[in-house]
Amino acid sequence: KTVAIKKSMISESFYRKNFLITGAGGSIGSEIIRQLIEYKPNIVVLLDNNEPSLYKINNELTQQFHEVINFFPLLGDACDKNLILNILKKYNVDYIFHAAAYKHVPLVEKNKLQGIYNNVFSTLNICKASLESNVKKIILISTDKAVRPTNVMGASKRLAELIIQAFENRSYKSEMSHLMKNNHKCFTLVRFGNVLGSSGSV
């Protein structure tokens, strides 16, 4: 069954708001930005540690939309909590789409520790940094491979999901209330299956 998107609700939430997209140069991150543009955001911060990919998406966006949307391409590591916190404060970010991840299963199997570090600790540090900022919502882009994972990539994404769920847990939020500045935050996630045309997928 197809679920109709209530674009009016999205528009009300996203219009003239500030966004951080991690993994902005990737196939998923860049498409999120293209879809987001429809709702006329104010600022979109593009974070990626891959220079060619970041250059490509920034060039595409600025050529088409620079007159109505402010794009800020930033080279950096999503695992760096201080970097994330500085970005959130400098650009007064309202929403985070966390799409940065190592997702090529065979490659992550050969680089297990780096895959775990990147996928798990980027999520943890983004959640921690968000507590010290005015961010309203953090959306983790997860994968169907996190369901009963049979590989390191899937397991690392499942751990990332558990982190998001822990931060959303009310008792945890109560304990961390001194950091939240009375600002409610929503920690959520969505699992993508095989996405046509995406890197490392179909």
Instruction: Provide the 8-state DSSP code for 90.
Output: H
Measured CA to CA, the distance from residue 75 to residue 54 in angstroms comes to 8
Strand order of the β-sheet with 70-75 is 70-75, 43-48, 18-22, 95-98, 137-143, 186-192
Provide the H-helix boundaries in 37-169.
Answer: 51-65, 81-90, 105-110, 112-116, 122-131, 152-168
The CA distance from 30 to 114, in Å, is 23
- CB neighbourhood size of 24 (10 A): 29
Active-site position among 145, 157, 173, 185: 145
Active-site annotation holds for 145: yes
3 state DSSP class of 19: strand
DSSP code for 190: E
Pairwise CA distance, residues 50 & 26, whole Å: 9
* Active centre residues (catalytic): 145
